[in-house]
């Protein structure tokens, strides 16, 4: 999302994911106290509050770290993004912040295993897929059908022209960061529900996977990113289950990335664009 609008990879995105999980970790006991533990309403509250807090954090990061560099070369912003990411990761590991040891993530919803013959599906997985589909539709509606979505697309197309047309570019970029960070927070919570040990470096691997999935599907293309993600996940899981191949699991993700960049740089669903000179 951020890449689509600003054309740079926000490395700190994976750390916002981590912060989302930690926000949920700290607010869920408070919500449990008022609404009883593992209630559906409480779970929704945790998601909404964590998403809101992370949206603010995302906007703050953009304001402090990226906005001052708006007119600098892209490389400067990219390196700053790496710096912001490391800053968040290592601040988080300080023992007075989160500490480096993994913390136990609380169960937000009662978990059940659904048995379909030999197939075992965890209710958390169903939840993850459900939430993803809902958010995907919501994103598509925001980007394609609303005024602010139109403005986002305009900024993505040409920042200067957009500002000449009276679009408040800074506000639109802030909004994009807020939206992206809220999504990251939700992803973080879903991820933590599945693997309930959360630590300040938990965002790094999913961040890399998300990047590969996005490139695989075509950067800036929403359905493409989903297809990329599903493909990558299936390939990795199959590789994980085959003796002898299971140690190449991570390698497979990045081998795919290289192949895609070589043969179809625009991704599976991406449109090839001609760079204007």
Binding mask 80-109 for another protein (x = CB under 8 A): ----------x--x-----xxxxxxx----
Residue of 17, 239, 256, 260 interacting with another protein (CB under 8 A): 239
* Selected range binding another protein among 10-18, 48-56, 140-148, 189-197, rule: CB under 8 A: 189-197
Q: Which residues neighbour 104 within 8 Å (Cβ) at sequence distance 6 or greater?
A: 196, 197
Distance of closest approach, residue 172 Cβ to another protein, in angstroms: 34
Q: How many residues comprise the chain?
A: 277
For tokens 């001609």, name the residue.
274
238 binds another protein (CB under 8 A): yes
Residue of 113, 144, 146, 150 interacting with another protein (CB under 8 A): 113
201 binds another protein (CB under 8 A): yes
Interface of this chain with another protein, residues 160 to 179, rule: CB under 8 A: none
Residue of 236, 256, 260, 267 interacting with another protein (CB under 8 A): 236
191 binds another protein (CB under 8 A): yes
- d(CA 172, CA 115) in angstroms, rounded, equals 46
- d(CA 181, CA 179) in angstroms, rounded, equals 5
Q: Report which secondary-structure segment, H or E, holds 197.
A: strand 197-198
In sequence order, which ranges of the chain are alpha helices (DSSP H)? 2-6, 13-35, 40-61, 74-93, 123-145, 147-157, 159-164, 169-194, 204-217, 222-241, 249-263
Q: How many CB atoms lie within 10 A of CB 74?
A: 12
* Contacting positions for another protein (CB under 8 A): 90, 93, 99-105, 111, 113, 120, 122, 191, 194-197, 199, 201-202, 205-206, 236-243, 246-247, 249-250
């Amino acid at each position: 999302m951020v890449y689509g609008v600003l054309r740079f990879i926000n490395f700190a995105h994976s750390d916002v994911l981590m912060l989302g999980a930690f926000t949920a970790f700290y607010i869920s006991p408070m919500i449990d106290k008022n609404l009883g533990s593992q209630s559906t309403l409480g779970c929704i509250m945790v998601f909404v509050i964590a998403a809101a807090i992370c949206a603010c954090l995302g906007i703050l990061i953009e304001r402090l770290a990226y906005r001052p560099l708006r007119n600098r070369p892209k490389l400067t912003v990219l390196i700053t993004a790496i710096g912001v990411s490391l800053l968040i990761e290592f601040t988080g590991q300080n023992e007075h912040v989160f500490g480096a040891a993994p913390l136990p993530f609380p169960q937000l919803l009662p978990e059940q295993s659904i048995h379909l013959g030999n197939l075992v599906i965890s209710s958390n997985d169903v939840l993850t897929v459900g939430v993803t589909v809902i958010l995907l539709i919501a994103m598509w509606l925001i980007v394609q059908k609303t005024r602010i979505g139109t403005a986002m697309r305009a900024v993505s197309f040409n920042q200067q022209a957009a500002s000449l047309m009276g679009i408040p570019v800074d506000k639109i970029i802030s909004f994009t960061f807020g939206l992206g960070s809220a999504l990251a927070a939700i992803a973080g919570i879903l991820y933590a529900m599945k693997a309930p040990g959360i630590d300040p470096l938990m965002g790094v691997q999913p961040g890399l996977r998300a990047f590969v999935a996005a490139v695989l599907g075509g950067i800036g293309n929403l359905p493409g990113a989903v297809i990329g993600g599903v493909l990558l996940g299936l390939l990795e899981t199959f590789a994980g289950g085959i003796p002898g191949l299971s140690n190449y699991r991570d390698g497979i993700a990045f081998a795919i990335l290289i192949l895609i960049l070589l043969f179809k740089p625009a991704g599976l669903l991406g449109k090839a664009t001609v760079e204007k000179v």
